[in-house]
Amino acid sequence: MPLIGDKFPKLKNVKTTQGIMSLPKAFKGKWFVLFSHPADFTPVCTTEFIEFQRNYIKFKVLNTELIGLSVDQVFSHLKWIEWIKENLNIRIEFPIIADTGEIADCLGLIHPSKGMNTVRAVFIVDPEGTIRAIMYYPQELGRNIDEILRAVEGLRISEDEGVAMPANWPQNRLLGSNVIIPPAQSKEEMLERVQKVGEGEYLCMDWWLCHKPWYKKYKTSRWREI
């Protein structure tokens, strides 16, 4: 089972609803979110796919692609997304992997007590093919798509600026939408930090707890206005 910081496994000749793909090669230069669901034609999974699709443009704005997965045949995926289009007027635009169980086993998605059904897992992978976040949910709990978007956006900003995000960012009760500056690792860094506080670039409660506005650079969130 891969862990955070590992390279996403190289998967060749992956059968999907949009043809044969190789991962992570198919999304080279982009972030991508691979999410597994227990089975097609199930109520919670249907609501999740609708919400992923409704937020698809928000992921696109963040240069992030979506790809689903379950241990179902490709014709089952196709009939399911056809049902969603005909009955709910939602067209699923992202690909879905038709797995025999091999990929799910490689990614640690098979729950021992649930037969061959995959757990609700989320892998967030960066443009270099490195796994940056992993989330797991039980079958009875549908995912919060806003939280996955928040995670992707936070990871991108962290990558761009070398910062960290506080709890509930960007609505933290202590720091608001500000981002956290990593603690100084040397006396020189501490002195530099004091200077930046004096210049108004950083705000500090102590030498190890400094933060700054991220809106200074981005003005507004890259997807929340959509």
DSSP notation for 176-221:
BT-EEEPPP-SHHHHHHHHHHHHTTS-EEEETTEEEE-SHHHHSS-
* Alpha-carbon span 89 to 110, nearest angstrom: 31
* Alpha-carbon span 46 to 80, nearest angstrom: 9
Per the structure block, which two tokens stand in for 208? Answer: 């190890």
Instruction: Show Cβ contacts of residue 96 under 8 Å, excluding neighbours closer than 6 positions.
Output: 16, 17, 67, 68, 69, 70, 77, 81
**Can you give the CATH number for the domain in which 205 is found?**
3.30.1020.10
85 and 192 share a domain? no
* Alpha-carbon span 14 to 191, nearest angstrom: 53
Per the structure block, which two tokens stand in for 169? Answer: 């960012």
Domain span holding position 133? 11-159
Q: 166 and 174 in contact (C-beta within 8 Å)?
A: yes
- 224 domain residue, yes or no: no
Q: Fill in the DSSP letter of residue 8.
A: P
Residue-level pLDDT at 181: 93
The residues that are catalytic are 45
39 and 147 share a domain? yes
**Tens digit of each residue's pLDDT, the chain (226 residues):** 899 999 999 999 999 999 999 999 999 999 999 999 999 999 999 999 999 999 999 999 999 999 999 999 999 999 999 999 999 999 999 999 999 999 999 999 987 666 667 889 999 999 999 999 999 998 899 999 999 999 999 999 999 999 999 999 999 999 999 999 988 888 888 888 778 777 778 888 887 889 998 864 444 455 444 4
53 and 129 share a domain? yes
**Can you give the CATH number for the domain in which 46 is found?**
3.40.30.10
Type of residue found at 11: L
Of 138, 159, 180, the one marking the end of a domain is 159
106 and 170 share a domain? no
144 and 188 share a domain? no
Type of residue found at 46: T
> How many domains, the chain?
2
Q: 222 and 62 in contact (C-beta within 8 Å)?
A: yes
37 and 70 share a domain? yes
β-bridge pairing 96-98 and 64-70: parallel
Of 137, 159, 181, the one marking the end of a domain is 159
67 and 133 share a domain? yes
Q: Fill in the DSSP letter of residue 25.
A: G
Give the rounded distance of the alpha carbon of 151 from its chain centre: 6
Instruction: Show Cβ contacts of residue 54 under 8 Å, excluding neighbours closer than 6 positions.
Output: 90, 145
Type of residue found at 223: W
Residue-level pLDDT at 215: 65
